[in-house]
Amino acid sequence: MPTFGSTGSILDCDDAFKDDWTPDDLPERKDELTEIHHTLEPASRGFTPNNMFVYGPAGQGKTVATQLKLQELSQFLENSEEQLSTYYVNCADLSSSYQVAGEVLKEISPDFDSRPRGHGLSNIFDWMFDRIEKIGGTVVIVLDEIDVIGNDDKVLYKLSRAKSNGEIENTRLSIVGISNNFDFYSDLTARVKDQLCEEEIRFAPYNANQLQNILERRAESGLQDGVLEGGVIQLCAAHAAKKDGSARQAINLLYKAAKIAHNGQDDTVTTDHVDQAQKKLNRDMLLEGLKDLTVQEYTTVLAVASLEARGDTPARTKTVYSEYKSICQTTGIDISTMRSIRDHLQALKLYRFLEGEKKTGGANGGERWLFELGVDLENMLAIEADDRFGEILDTIEMRKKANA
């Protein structure tokens, strides 16, 4: 049993690997920072900054870049007569314009300790604009992960057109929308696109070299000197680059590898530690994802897993459906229609549990989809599941060994 103070000497500052750690600079995002700077620059002269829409995959520095430039602008205006107020709203757990408007009101108003409930949306907008007008000067509201509201973009319309619609008179209001999903932009109504997206700033995925540079700086801040063996940074960067180029994933992988070495009282972090950390992260991500699946979705995944264990993937929808029905008959689960399973397959592809490829032509012409697992079969079989699926999982395990 370990005691406090008896662990290894790998980690120096754990906080350097946490999501809320803000670096002093983002040298890999000079172009994007410049674009954000030019968008906010009018505020430094007492004018209204344009609204902007910042988008790109998760873990690309969108939020940090926006925060850095807003901090820089705030510091510049400290000794001037211009007033700047910035408010940050994370919309990740919100799902409607009503909830986002309520969260904005909570952030900007001292009269609300929590998001208001039970009031009409028009009342919330009235209170929100009254408060914005009282704040005065330049007000920048950052709506992070705003894509969660889907097609319900009324709050974006009201905020982005507040001045032109006469909701506010003297305050200079600017809206920054940050999204991990550019498809969200295409679903916005034309009237919102014209106002919110006065400036569009795209954050492309980091490449492996950029991720290595980011990891080297984090390692310098968070690890003891000389504890990284050669190849560790490169391997962590390569894993992240193969997926979405997410700096967050790369940093988390390096931290997990360092924790394994630290807790094991090893002298250095090796590529073996990285491999162990990657396997654990894969299992954890898979477990969390599986928890969110419906019984029908999970059964559909098992059908593809069963076919994969036999070496019969990529498989057509019809083949998957046949295997799915067999599993349902064994487990006593109600059998859904092929159309429903077709929808589940597409959803599971979106969730990345499956990989799918559309084929055209062939003897009968038309389109057909081929599916295979998008996750490691071994990891999936290692995760404890509902008792109803025990026999099926054992069968898949035996098929896998027989075809090894």
Closest listed residue to residue 384, CA positions, set 290, 310, 256:
290
Q: At which residue do the structure tokens 């090893």 appear?
A: 266
Q: Is 55 annotated as a binding residue?
A: no
Dihedral sign, Cα of residue 168, residue 96, residue 59, residue 347 = negative
Q: Which residues contact 71 (CB under 8 A, 6 or more apart)?
A: none
* Cross-strand pairs, 367: 360
Residue by residue, DSSP assigns 301-365 as: HHHHHHHHHTT--SEEHHHHHHHHHHHHHHHTPPPPPHHHHHHHHHHHHHTTSEEEEEEE-STT-
Q: Is 206 annotated as a binding residue?
A: yes
Q: Which residues contact 349 (CB under 8 A, 6 or more apart)?
A: 355, 356, 371, 374
Q: How many residues does the chain have?
A: 404
CA pair distance 75, 20, nearest whole angstrom: 20
To which H or E segment does residue 143 belong? Answer: strand 138-144
Binding residues for ATP: 206, 218
Binding residues: 206, 218
